[in-house]
A and B are shown apart, each in its own frame.
Chain A
């Protein structure tokens, strides 16, 4: 009979290392499992930004990290959603807020009623019926009053300065009592399809029952275990380059991130304390790195400072994210585009799944099959949500965007988009990160409108419908005006510079 898992060795760097270490320590350290973090040199650059969904609050809760500390020590700012600009020709930008839109009447989704009203001449944008979207446009944070909570579940994600966030995670992890070593990885010893130990360049050898590979794209541990090679998704995405830069801080501070499409790809603007993180994702067959450098200040209308950091952008999934006694976390397991604020999400999912499916014994670890299937399913859903933006773009006669529209579309995504177009209904899949309302928000936002609305909609008289809409808009305006502004919050929680005069 096998013994239980007594020692976990986590080898890697940055957020993947510290989130996993802290998460496992909090979940299993108390049960007597020893957690050892082996820290490899960071791959982060000073301009790097992490853009996180509201679920990060849950993650922080799980890890025992006070949200105020995240805000104070990680240069953080709140984002209630993302604003997509320029994705569909000359149409105005839209806000994808982390919130529902409108209310259901009876059993029918709001979007059907909106669609009918639109067809009969109403020209109020869909997002105006979302507290989250209106609040984001007005620079609010998501502190809903009780009166708003039946209508809205507006919530906020974070934009984080990657380096300071990782410092914060590390501080928490070390304080939690894990063992910690720094070094360079020398050798991984494998026996019977499992890792026995890892050796560092200082000669130290670290045994463990379970290993976590948090080394990033090189997948230094799991790559040696003979699982299937990762699936590449590069053929699904139109871009292959990424550039990170720093821009000046915005004032007043918006409480959303902006994703601006341009001829060769898109530029993300992520407000932080003290700067705006800029991330460009582009195709090198359309413009060179130098061209991109010149384009960023124009697109962002910002003075750009510091050196640009350019990298190749690859996407893909390691379907065998758990092989033998080794689990890949972070970029070693999955690489996504920096779109839709999923920077921390794959880690969050991986960690939650591991905590849920923790190996019962240090032997065969049959939990891996379950874990791998679930993890892959989550990641594919996120990928499809990212791909939806590309497939639905309406920038014509631009090679990158024409390609983005016509590239291979995974079947489940094609079905989802097609079904919504035909019926206004959104098929529900398991393991979705983005709920129905998120899908509706971006599909409507990208002008992917249903051809018909639900027949029950005609049961509501037009006058009554308009009255309800008006009441909803008034209610939203009232609630949003009661919400705190991000800049006020920022002033109260973030360090202030002293003033010279009155």
Chain B
């Protein structure tokens, strides 16, 4: 008989380790479960992920984190979406907003009605029907979570923050809730001879930590999931060929923008993430097409403020473990896979893993059927995010560098092919209900990348022309009303969540 799960060991700190710790401490509690996190200050955390997606608010809510407080603590700003510059072609830019275009009607999305209106000669841009895009454009922000006004759209947002400060905050609340932190570098693991379960990990210096259940948050190395269990890796670098990133913070050059900017470069793309006190920058590139030195020089020459540190290079392989959960080890975060930060999904995939681990948390031992279910679901999550990311690269008019020629012409997954074809013909994106990126996101990116649908869903013809115009005008009115009532992003931050370090300055 398997034994009851009592001792949980989290291997590795960083964003993923402490997110797991804080969530387990809050939901399982530390009365019946003994939660230990082992990390080494000698091992740096990766922490490139400074931008998030709106789902993080759910996590914070579950863990019991006050929004204004965590924003103050992490120098956070609000994020309304991502601007993609030069992705479709040089000089072009589009916005992938959180939130919605217009209002869905008759069971189909607003975009079909907009397509109908446009084909009939309507000249108003679809982006005018999205409040986040408009607010981003005007650098405004307002938190509308408690606003019951149904005439105006609510504002959807995420955060741009310092991930290492986020981890630090999570560590603080985890320890308050009784999570035990052990400093040390893991050198070995012992397995049960019979079951193969990991029984303990050994630290440098000989200390041993026993556990019933291990969460592997050890980063790219995958200390348990790969080094012990040889889970294997689905290598997706043929379709997502970027494999390095060089990151550097710089001084801010003005009030922080309420959005992240992604600028396409010759062999990848560059992020710009504005925080309250500085701006995060990085060039994500493929080492096959540009050298580290060249990429670093390119990054440094395109900063809009003084660099505040030496550039740091990270290396990775896009892909995911073939199995995320093996026996009593589940891998979360980078140890489980990495899809590159283009749509800020790293933290979200950690969160998805946590939610699933909690939902399937073993009581009296590990159920193999649940483990299989978990592995299938996690793989599905990564797989669909992957397709969305590929679409950014593949649907483009750029043909000015070998990198873009490669991604534009590369072989893509059949399911993605089908989607692009359907979108081209009738503006539908074939989104699954449980998919992270919904129809709105697919529409924003595919249309933004230059794929213009020839038709639209026939249901969009069901209302009269006058009625359509009236509805469009009403939707647009609501957006304008909302926009008129929004303060500047900086102004909102100042009264809601100004970082302490900045307030005294």
Contact = CB atoms under 8 A, between A and B. Distances in A.
Given A143-B470, A502-B83, A481 B93 contact: no
B157 interface: no
B276 to A, nearest CB: 23
B133 interface: yes
Interface stretch (B44-52, B139-147, B359-367, B475-483): B475-483
B62 interface: no
B125 A492 contact: no
B476 A488 contact: yes
A487 B481 CA distance: 10
Given A252-B484, A491-B128, A496-B124, A483 B472 contact: no
Given A482-B151, A502-B83, A492 B473 contact: yes
Most buried by B among A140, A252, A481, A488: A488
A13 B403 CA distance: 66
Contacts of B95: 502
A491 B469 CA distance: 11
Interface in B426-479: 469-470, 472-474, 476-477, 479
A481 B481 contact: yes
A258 interface: no
Most buried by B among A140, A485, A495: A485
Contacts of B469: 492-493
B124 A492 contact: yes
B480 A485 contact: yes
Nearest to A499: B125
B405 interface: no
A357 interface: no
B125 A484 contact: no
B93 A501 contact: yes
A115 B415 CA distance: 71
Interface residues of A, number: 19
Contact of B472 (A252, A492, A499): A492
Contact of B93 (A143, A492, A502): A502
Nearest to B448: A502
Contacts of B504: none
A481 B151 contact: yes
Contacts of B124: 491-492, 496
Most buried by B among A488, A492, A496, A502: A502
A369 interface: no
Contact of B474 (A484, A495, A499, A502): A484
B133 A502 contact: yes
Most buried by A among B469, B476, B484: B476
B196 interface: no
A113 B148 CA distance: 33
Contacts of A252: 480, 484
A118 interface: no
B127 interface: yes
B473 A487 contact: no
B305 interface: no
B137 interface: yes
Given A484-B470, A502-B95, A492 B476 contact: yes
A489 interface: yes
B123 A488 contact: no
B113 interface: no
A502 B127 contact: yes
Contacts of A482: 151, 474
A233 B127 CA distance: 54
A154 to B, nearest CB: 16
Interface string B102-136: 00000000000000000000111101100001001
Interface in A240-259: 252
A488 B125 contact: no
Contact of B473 (A484, A495, A499): A484
Interface string B347-367: 000000000000000000000
A483 B133 contact: no
A131 to B, nearest CB: 15
A496 B123 CA distance: 6
B94 interface: yes
Given A492-B472, A501-B93, A502-B127, A485 B83 contact: no
* A-B residue pairs, 10 tightest by C-beta: A488-B476, A485-B477, A502-B95, A488-B477, A484-B473, A502-B93, A501-B93, A481-B151, A496-B123, A484-B477
Given A484-B474, A485-B476, A501-B93, 6 more contacts: A252-B484, A484-B470, A484-B476, A496-B125, A502-B133, A502-B136
26 contacts: A140-B477, A143-B470, A252-B480, A481-B481, A482-B151, A482-B474, A483-B477, A484-B470, A484-B473, A484-B474, A484-B476, A485-B477, A488-B476, A489-B473, A491-B124, A492-B472, A492-B473, A495-B123, A496-B125, A499-B125, A501-B93, A502-B83, A502-B93, A502-B94, A502-B133, A502-B136
